Structure 1
Amino acid sequence: MSTRISLWDELGIPPRGPALHKALHEGLSYSSFRVLAGVAGLDRTALSKAVAIPSATLSRRAKQGRFNAEESDRLFRFARVYDAAIQLFEGDAEAAIHWMRHPVRGLGGERPIDMLTTSAEAEAVLDLIGQLEHGVVA
């Protein structure tokens, strides 16, 4: 039986709780961005667009080595939705990112990856994933 390292272990942050809250307030490291892009199979531009971090800001964060709390929250939001999509597709990360990059009827024809800028949009994607996991037709 192979043991897959969790996304959260790869990112070096817990998925919930006080330690996560502290990490987000302190700001995630730039290496978290690189890891997240790598595991999701996205280039830097695609991930920065998905989390609404302009390229100039991304360049500054690369030099500083850390994101601010708001940017960290957006990265966490992406990771949370991506992790839920992986669960939906029973561990198939490639299928998860494929689903996220294509229009979904249950989201009004929007692509899940384009619905991560706000917490309300991310919650809509997570709600849909929950419905799909439980066999509710969306």
Structure 2
Amino acid sequence: MQTAIKEYRPKETARKEDFWKTLGLPSRGPKLHEALNEGVSYKVYTKLAETSGLESKELARYVVISPATLKRRADAGHFKPAEGDRLYRFAEVYKSAVDLFEGDRARARRWLLTPVRGLGGRRPVEMVATTAGSEAILDLIGRLEHGVFA
């Protein structure tokens, strides 16, 4: 009698678009460009802090927004384009980390907050505020997903 071998199926994770819909931000394309230029809503910031499990002040520090600026943006209801772009980069990196850990948000958050050898011993959250830093993180995540370590 032969034993049937079960096919490996990774945990079902939320569709990519669900993450972006939850934040209230388009994931790509002209609509994202338009949203960034018009000013990302302050609600996106609060949803991103909530979704990532970070304190509001922590997230502001990682995306380089001072407490005084954060208060002004809360009062205005939206961020300036450069600030919204940094929020988008953080969201993109966070979503990629969650995907890397198959939907496990706690593991993704720990990884983002821990020094990573592939990033020269820096914590990913320390690099997310710049395009070059975000690209380095996303590149590393891609290599880890495909088993490329060098």
Question: How much has 1:94 moved relative to structure 2?
Answer: 1.0
Q: Which runs of 4+ in 1 moved over 4 A?
A: none
1:37 alignment partner AA: A
Question: Are positions 1:120 and 2:141 aligned together?
Answer: no
Question: Are positions 1:85 and 2:110 aligned together?
Answer: no
SS of residue matched to 2:58: helix
Whole-angstrom distance in 2 between the partners of 1:56 and 1:98: 28
Whole-angstrom distance in 1 between the partners of 2:143 and 2:12: 29
Structure 2 residue runs of 5 or longer lacking an equivalent are: 1-10
1:1-138 residue pairs with structure 2 within 5 A?
A: 4=14, 6-138=18-150
Whole-angstrom distance in 1 between the partners of 2:14 and 2:147: 26
Structure 1 residue runs of 5 or longer lacking an equivalent are: none
Give the structure with higher Rg (CA).
Answer: 2
Aligned length: 138
- Identity, % of aligned positions: 53
Question: How much has 1:117 moved relative to structure 2?
Answer: 1.4
Whole-angstrom distance in 2 between the partners of 1:130 and 1:93: 18
Q: What is the RMSD computed on CA atoms of the aligned residues?
A: 1.5
